[in-house]
Amino acid sequence: MRATPGGYCGQALVVDVSDGSTRTLPLPDDVLRDYLGGAGLGTWLLTELSPAGAGPLEPAAPLAFVFSPLVGTPLTTSAKFAVVAKSPLTGMLNDALSSSHFAISGKFTGHDAIVVTGRAQAPTNVLIDEDGVRLVDAAVQWGMSAAEAEESIREQHGRRWRAASIGQAGERMVRYATISHDGRHAGRGGLGAVLGAKNIKCVAVRGSKRVDVADREAVLVAAKDLRNRSFGPATEKYRELGTLSNLLAFNAINTLPTRNFQTATFADAAKLSAEDLAESRSVARSSCASCSIGCEHIYASKNGKKARVEYENVFALGPMCGVSDPDHVLDASARCDELGLDTISAGGTIAWAMECVDRELLDVPWLRFGDGDALARALDEIGTRTGIGELLAEGSRRASEIVGQGSSAFAPHVKGLEMPGYEPRTMQSMALGLAVNSRGADHNRSGAYEADLKAGLDRVHGTTEHVRAAIQTEDRAAIMDSLIFCKFLRGVFTEPFEEWAHLLSLVTGWDVDADELHETARRIVLAKRSYNLREGWTASDDWLPERFLDGSLALESGRSATLPPERLRTMIDTYYQERGLDSNGRPLAMSTDSRTEPST
């Protein structure tokens, strides 16, 4: 029996829910070292296990829960997992991260990843522990919210079980349905629909096989140090107000998307701000397992519904839809959680539909910007695929293709994934990140807004320097999403690649250094691109909606923010060049430095 590196189990479990059969997939050491875990290892697994061209909702399409070498260690924010599958929104690789006890219990079943494939005949729950895999009837849970289903599983089978579940939206294969656990969501890209297509309501795990690390004492010391640093000013924002504290600041700098990106400031932003909510309402704070930051801020609406408030859900269900009443936004956010809907895609798709109604392209007179009741009704109809929800459940790209009449020009997506709350014209590093990212319009795999919101670059005039900055943030994200560390810890690391390499060495016993991790980051980014290429990606997919390329935004300073198509083209071409891609964005040299190139 081979000795696996510290932090790893050295194997993945593959469950075919069509017949309940399972197999163990050995994970060679060089694969683990090349792809680490989380999003990186998930990319390798998906490339290996998914038949080329298989549709995301077909039985053959695999969906992987992928852990990481740091899961189960005392390192703060390490209890995270990636869910990786082909996205029903984009048709491309999608990895969504989530947190908490599912990661620890899942890894302690003795696996670095759990892959679900096939399609069950009837609604089914998958239960996995150290004794094996059981498929059990999910008739009781079907129709429940994810939170209700999770609780039901634990009542039925025992409190030690941890369940990742879908809501009604996933059951109905809404293309932006989520997978949820412990109030957190693998939110983006519609992975809940993939599970729903397999007739799987919950994947539940229970495990106690602790995984050794190479140097337990040193890991403990490092964990204590990191924990202490996590209490410092770099995370104060997250601890004290949460990510919603971005809202008013973004409004002040013309980057708060409003009314489907028609403007970048929202007159009523203050009503939805973290500052106002913190002053006017009581808040419940919480944190993921193994996290010392504690970013979660949960507020109740006047209707008693509780919602975890983040910048992205408030932007998408508030300013993006023109809704300024915080109770409506909190209720909408809570409803998304109940139904299992990605708030960004839901808000973006509804905002697009509201603009269609304004332009008389859709005959849905009740669906108007600023109407909180209309927002709630639209969410209900999407989650249940009724009324206008049947169209909007397809996401803004498909819906705009159906509606036609020029509505694609203002459909707020890239590659089919709806855009997060960053105006590309006033954040042009981010504009590039949104355009070229393998997941589509995404703020977590690119993170190029970091460059725009630091001093030094003119954020409204993209240049070669912006491209380099975007590549750096993309590389950092590739490592953080594979180790996995929470992004909110990023400001704590002063020399991130060196520090991550050191921590990884302590856990695994590898003599990994910063240079190797830089190469690993590049490998992971290119592996995602290679998967997409195999599944039909073309260079035309790396682009932004027309809206951003032919309009300007006036800034308070007197300048105008524009993003001419030729500037975006130049930035993309430079990105291709700097990434070692050919002029059509195709990887040139994947195999020259990788020990374990996926067999695309």
Contact set with other proteins (CB under 8 A): 233-238, 240-241, 243, 245-246, 248-249, 252-254, 274-275, 278-279, 310-312, 420-421, 443, 447, 449-450, 452-456, 458-460, 487-488, 490-491, 554-560
User: How many whole angstroms separate alpha carbon 176 and alpha carbon 197?
Assistant: 13
Dist CA 576 CA 586 (whole Å):
8
In terms of residues, how long is the chain?
600
Q: Is the CB of residue 377 less than 8 Å from the CB of residue 71?
A: no
Strands 113-117, 11-16: pairing is parallel
- Residue 258 phi, psi (nearest 5): -135, 140
- Provide the residue type at 207 as one letter: G
CB of 558 to other proteins, least distance (A): 4
Q: Which of 271, 269, 294 is nearest to 281 (CA)?
A: 271
Closer to other proteins by Cβ: residue 60 or 298 = 298
**CB atoms inside a 10 Å sphere around CB 155:** 11
Picking from 319, 299, 301, the residue whose alpha carbon sits closest to that of residue 309 is 299
Q: Which residues contact 228 (CB under 8 A, 6 or more apart)?
A: none
- Of residues 137 and 236, the one with the C-beta less far from other proteins: 236
Q: Which is nearer to other proteins, 228 or 560 (CB)?
A: 560
Residue in 171, 200, 194, 169 with CA at minimum distance from that of residue 58: 194
Q: Which of 241, 247, 223 is nearest to 312 (CA)?
A: 247
Minimum distance from CB of 486 to other proteins (Å)? 10
Q: How far is the CB of 278 from other proteins (least distance, A)?
A: 6
Q: Cβ neighbours of residue 443 under 8 Å, at least 6 residues apart?
A: 312, 420, 421, 422, 430, 433, 434, 449
Minimum gap (Å) between residue 451 Cβ and other proteins: 10
Question: What is the token pair recorded at 293?
Answer: 């930051």
Task: Measure the CA–CA gap between 346 and 56, rounded to whole angstroms.
Answer: 20
Q: How far apart are alpha carbons 583 and 600 in whole angstroms?
A: 20
Task: Give the relative orientation of helices 464-483 and 565-578 as an angle to the nearest 10 degrees.
Answer: 50
**Which residue carries 């969906």 as its tokens?**
63
Interhelix angle for 565-578 vs 428-436, to 10°? 70
Backbone angles phi, psi at 165, to 5 degrees: -135, 160
Which one-letter amino acid corresponds to residue 116? V
Question: What's the rounded Cα separation, in Å, for the pair 85 and 20?
Answer: 20
Task: State how far the Cα of 418 lies from the Cα of 400, in Å rounded to an integer.
Answer: 12
